[in-house]
């Protein structure tokens, strides 16, 4: 059954969405810093072309939380450094 649903989805809208994600992925991959985002766009293109029967796997959120908190601390430290010097 997912095969018929994927074919119908592809014909009635999935093709446009998939090409849009592929184009976005190509544009992101122009720069070195955009390559990880571009790779995710290609994964979204695959999901947009054939959504039925696909699964989405979530990564371990503990490592993401640690990276985000350390990145937030660094950005806060950089932008608040100027305020601390002026006092």
| Residues 29, 40: Cα–Cα separation, whole Å | 11
Tokens, residue 1 = 């059954």
Give the orientation angle of helix 35-49 with respect to helix 15-28, to 10 degrees: 170
Tens digits of residue pLDDT in 44-74: 998 888 888 777 777 666 655 655 666 666 6
pLDDT at position 21 is 92
Q: What is the pTM of this model?
A: 0.61
Confidence check: pLDDT of 3 > 90:
no
Tens digits of residue pLDDT in 10-25: 888 888 889 999 999 9
Residue 62, CA distances (Å) to 6, 14, 30, 48, 58 in order? 34, 34, 30, 28, 12
Tens digits of residue pLDDT in 76-87: 777 766 655 555
């Amino acid at each position: 059954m997912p095969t018929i649903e994927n074919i119908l989805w592809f014909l009635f809208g999935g093709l446009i969405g998939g090409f849009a994600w592929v184009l976005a992925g190509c544009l992101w991959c122009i720069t070195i810093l955009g390559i990880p985002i571009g790779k995710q766009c290609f994964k979204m293109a695959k999901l947009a072309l054939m959504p039925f029967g696909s699964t989405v796997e979530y990564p371990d959120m503990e490592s993401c939380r640690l990276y985000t908190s350390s990145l937030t601390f660094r950005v806060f430290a950089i932008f608040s450094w100027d305020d601390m010097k002026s006092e």
